[in-house]
């Protein structure tokens, strides 16, 4: 075989020709609602132009230069802005760039995506359009409302309730909409609800028909209010909703009482700060989202590769001389095993050495390198790991893959049990010096409900990082959760109150504790 695929280039990049524009639907808010095709395009992009409704979190999937277009108000500004967008897309593509125009929802539903496509076609630029989940279906499904239903609605109309300010009178044929035999979904600004509902009633739609307003649909801040065509406007006003918003009119709204699900998720409505190093936070963030919460990445500790690998490299050829290797973090596993692999060796280097992991998550990471942990303590903490190992280690050689900084209880316990312990730092860890300004702003505004602390050093570092303004929310809007009693003790010593401690000493355990607290 002469044609081996290059292993380090994304196959996507090679399959997409340069000098092309992808009009990609970003979905209504939840980053998980982007299509796989959309993801491929983002990964391949050199330049991303995204609109105000597309979730900026999606930019984590691209290395492209990214810019946001916020439409300016007023007919003049708006038109200019759109022309400018078209020009930018065309200019970038002409330079041979792979361009993604990322648009909220579906590009061809009320998003002017078709106007952009026409401009590209006229300029002779190759383009592709990737559909997205439009706000109507996103909002309906995430509210437990089925827009069609065998008994209630066999048709659905998507209507733009945004009035074009250049048009003197309403462009909507309300008498026809009033007679429409099915569900009506209005894409509209909140200030339009009253005019729309009153016009429908005046045109003969029943004032007692069910209606819902869904705001910031599919995001962690989604809000839903329900009522009737007659009452929904004042209900929505009282709820002080925030844009963007949709109005759904139809009997199917009533189903929500049984089929709502978003609000039933354990972390619904909660914003949770994750203090883990960015490289290790991905799984936790995904889990928080899965449970219906919003995750805010706010590392208090950073981890990085060692500057000096001499000590590690000296031990790699001698791993089989150890009776036990002990891993107390995912990062320790990855760093040591990656170095082993890069040195040209593989799992056979371990010989008969047995492996201990501090908890299931660390054991799972070993498993991802096809190594099985021989020992995991029932309680995921250094004391328990030491106690579980102690009976096996008298006269034995133990290798502990540790961080440059950390607790010393484990080697002390093992040495007391008669072991010969080698402490091998395999990664560096240090405190963060400041939070990202966006995180700081949210903390200051009391816009974070919980901060999860997963190690004593994270707790101590948080005590340094929390600004006086953020501290005013402590114990009220903002609470702290500790992964274990050891972390709790470190936090208290650093002057931070802990509202809840996990029963199982993992991030899952921590999230369970938070969910139980707020139920
Ligand atoms: N192309 C987009 C719609 C663009 S028009 C789509 O397919 O969804 C913008 C309007 O869409 C907003 O004014 C609002 O009415 C609606 N909208 C977009 N995202 C929304 C969301 N997350 N929740 C509620 N309404 C939303």
| DSSP codes of every residue in 443-482 | HHTT---EEEE-SHHHHHHHHHH--HHHHTTBTTTBEEEE
Q: Which protein residue has the closest C-alpha to ligand 1 atom 24?
A: 245
Predicted confidence (pLDDT) at residue 16 exceeds the cutoff of 80: no
CA distance 171 to 343: 70
pLDDT (tens digit, 9 = 90+) per residue, 415-435?
A: 999 999 999 999 998 888 899
- The CATH code of the domain at 136-264 is 3.30.950.10
CA 244 to centroid of ligand 1, rounded, Å: 6
Residue 18 pLDDT class (50, 70, 90 cuts): low
Which of 34, 38, 110, 213 has most ligand 1 atoms within 8 Å of its beta carbon, as the pocket-test mutant?
110
CA 176 to centroid of ligand 1, rounded, Å: 23
Residue 381 is predicted with a pLDDT of: 85
Tokens 């650093």 -> residue: 494
> Which atom of ligand 1 lies nearest, measured to the CA of 135?
8
Q: Residues lining ligand 1, judged by CB closer than 6 Å?
A: 28-29, 53, 103-106, 109-111, 134-135, 139, 187-188, 214-218, 244-246
Predicted confidence (pLDDT) at residue 1 exceeds the cutoff of 60: no
Nearest to 514 by CA among 475, 483, 485, 488: 483
- Enter the tokens of residue 209: 């028909």
Residue 68 pLDDT class (50, 70, 90 cuts): confident
CA 148 to centroid of ligand 1, rounded, Å: 19
Q: Please, where are the H alpha helices in 324-372?
A: 330-342, 360-368
pLDDT (tens digit, 9 = 90+) per residue, 111-137?
A: 889 999 999 999 999 999 999 999 999
Percent of the chain with pLDDT over 70: 92
Residue 170 is predicted with a pLDDT of: 64
Residue 164 is predicted with a pLDDT of: 59
CA 200 to centroid of ligand 1, rounded, Å: 21
Three-state secondary structure call for residue 303: strand
Which of 23, 24, 27, 28 has most ligand 1 atoms within 8 Å of its beta carbon, as the pocket-test mutant?
28
Rounded to a whole number, what is the largest CA-CA distance in the chain?
Answer: 91
Please name the helix (run of DSSP H) or strand (run of DSSP E) that holds residue 245, with its range, or none.
Answer: strand 245-249
CA–CA–CA angle 368, 292, 24 (5° rounding): 80
Which of 139, 187, 249 has most ligand 1 atoms within 8 Å of its beta carbon, as the pocket-test mutant?
187
Nearest to 305 by CA among 339, 276, 356: 339
Q: Which residues pair with 25 in a beta bridge?
A: 103
Predicted confidence (pLDDT) at residue 75 exceeds the cutoff of 60: no
Tokens 């760093």 -> residue: 335
Predicted confidence (pLDDT) at residue 71 exceeds the cutoff of 80: no
Summary mean pLDDT of the chain:
91
Q: What are phi and psi of 57, to 5 degrees?
A: -60, -25
CA distance 499 to 511: 13
Per DSSP, the chain holds a count of helices (H) and strands (E) of 20, 20
Domain 304-431 has CATH 1.10.3210.50: no
Q: Which residues contact 130 (CB under 8 A, 6 or more apart)?
A: 22, 23, 24, 25, 35, 37, 38, 41, 107
Mean pLDDT value across residues 485-513: 96
CA 105 to centroid of ligand 1, rounded, Å: 7
Predicted confidence (pLDDT) at residue 484 exceeds the cutoff of 50: yes
Residue 166 is predicted with a pLDDT of: 60
Predicted confidence (pLDDT) at residue 14 exceeds the cutoff of 70: no
Residue 167 pLDDT class (50, 70, 90 cuts): low
Q: Which protein residue has the closest C-alpha to ligand 1 atom 2?
A: 105
pLDDT (tens digit, 9 = 90+) per residue, 244-286?
A: 999 999 999 999 999 999 999 999 989 999 999 887 888 899 9
> Which atom of ligand 1 lies nearest, measured to the CA of 53?
19
Kindly tell me the burial class for residue 478, based on how many C-beta atoms sit within 10 Å of its own C-beta (0-12, 13-18, 19 or more): buried
| 331 touches 401 (CB < 8 A) | no
CA 455 to centroid of ligand 1, rounded, Å: 41
Report the topology of domain 271-300+432-518: Rossmann fold (3.40.50)
Mean pLDDT value across residues 289-297: 93
Mean pLDDT value across residues 207-228: 96
- Enter the tokens of residue 40: 């491929």
Global confidence as pTM = 0.77
Predicted confidence (pLDDT) at residue 169 exceeds the cutoff of 90: no
pLDDT (tens digit, 9 = 90+) per residue, 351-373?
A: 999 999 999 989 999 999 999 99
Domain 14-133 has CATH 3.30.450.20: no
Percent of the chain with pLDDT over 90: 80
Which of 38, 50, 105 has most ligand 1 atoms within 8 Å of its beta carbon, as the pocket-test mutant?
105
| 106 touches 213 (CB < 8 A) | no
Predicted confidence (pLDDT) at residue 395 exceeds the cutoff of 80: yes
> DSSP strand E in 46-145: where?
47-51, 65-69, 98-103, 127-130
CA 448 to centroid of ligand 1, rounded, Å: 25
Residue 519 is predicted with a pLDDT of: 62
Q: In the chain, which segments carry CATH 3.40.50.10090?
A: 271-300+432-518, 304-431
CA 53 to centroid of ligand 1, rounded, Å: 7
Residue 79 is predicted with a pLDDT of: 42
CA 71 to centroid of ligand 1, rounded, Å: 14
Predicted confidence (pLDDT) at residue 7 exceeds the cutoff of 50: no
Residue 304 pLDDT class (50, 70, 90 cuts): confident
CA 191 to centroid of ligand 1, rounded, Å: 15
Mean pLDDT value across residues 134-148: 97
Residue 380 is predicted with a pLDDT of: 84
Q: In the chain, which segments carry CATH 3.40.1010.10?
A: 14-133
Residue 6 pLDDT class (50, 70, 90 cuts): very low
Predicted confidence (pLDDT) at residue 73 exceeds the cutoff of 90: no
Predicted confidence (pLDDT) at residue 375 exceeds the cutoff of 70: yes
């Amino acid at each position: 075989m002469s044609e081996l695929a290059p292993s380090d280039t994304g196959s996507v990049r090679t399959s997409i020709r340069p000098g092309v524009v992808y009009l990609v639907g970003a979905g209504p808010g939840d980053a998980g609602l982007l299509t796989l095709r959309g993801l491929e395009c983002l990964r391949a992009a050199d330049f991303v132009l995204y609109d105000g409704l597309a979730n900026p979190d999606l930019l984590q999937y691209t290395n492209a230069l990214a810019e946001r277009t916020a439409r300016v108000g007023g007919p003049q500004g708006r038109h200019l802005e759109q022309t400018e967008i078209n020009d930018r897309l065309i200019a970038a593509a002409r330079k041979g760039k792979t361009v993604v125009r990322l648009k909220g929802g579906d590009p061809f539903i009320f998003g002017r995506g078709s106007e952009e496509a026409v401009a590209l076609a006229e300029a002779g630029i190759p383009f592709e359009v990737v559909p997205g989940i439009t706000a109507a279906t996103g909002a309906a499904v995430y509210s437990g409302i089925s827009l069609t239903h065998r008994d209630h609605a066999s048709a659905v109309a998507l209507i733009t309730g945004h009035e074009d300010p250049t048009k003197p009178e309403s462009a909507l044929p309300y008498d026809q909409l009033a007679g429409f035999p099915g569900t009506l979904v209005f894409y509209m600004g909140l200030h339009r609800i009253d005019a729309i509902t009153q016009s429908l009633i005046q045109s003969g739609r029943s004032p007692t028909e069910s209606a819902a307003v869904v705001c910031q649909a599919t995001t962690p801040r989604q809000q839903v209010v329900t009522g009737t065509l007659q009452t929904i406007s004042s209900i929505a006003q009282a709820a002080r909703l925030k844009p963007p918003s949709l109005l759904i009119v139809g009997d199917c709204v009533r189903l929500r009482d049984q089929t709502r699900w978003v609000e039933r998720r354990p972390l619904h409505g909660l914003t949770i700060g994750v203090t883990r190093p960015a490289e290790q936070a991905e799984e936790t963030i995904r889990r928080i989202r899965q449970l219906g919460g919003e995750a805010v990445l706010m590392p208090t500790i950073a981890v990085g590769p060692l500057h000096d690998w001499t000590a590690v490299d000296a031990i790699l050829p001698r791993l089989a001389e150890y009776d036990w290797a002990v891993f107390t973090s995912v990062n320790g596993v990855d760093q040591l095993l990656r170095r082993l692999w890069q040195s040209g060796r593989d799992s056979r280097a371990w010989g008969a050495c047995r492996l201990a992991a501090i908890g299931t998550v660390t054991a799972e990471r070993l498993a991802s390198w096809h190594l099985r942990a021989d020992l995991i303590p029932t309680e995921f903490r250094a004391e328990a790991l030491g106690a579980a190992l102690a009976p096996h280690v008298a006269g034995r050689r133990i290798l502990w893959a540790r961080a440059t900084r950390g607790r010393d209880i484990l080697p002390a316990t093992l040495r007391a049990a008669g072991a010969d312990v080698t402490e091998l730092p395999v990664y560096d860890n240090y405190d963060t010096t400041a939070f990202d300004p966006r995180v700081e702003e949210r903390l200051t505004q009391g816009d974070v409900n919980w901060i999860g602390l997963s190690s004593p050093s994270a707790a101590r570092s948080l005590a340094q990082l929390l600004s006086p303004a953020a501290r005013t929310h402590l114990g009220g809007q903002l609470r702290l959760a500790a992964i274990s009693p050891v972390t709790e003790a470190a936090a208290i010593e650093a002057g931070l109150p802990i509202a809840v401690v996990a029963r199982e000493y993992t991030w899952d355990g921590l999230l369970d504790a938070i969910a139980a607290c707020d139920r």
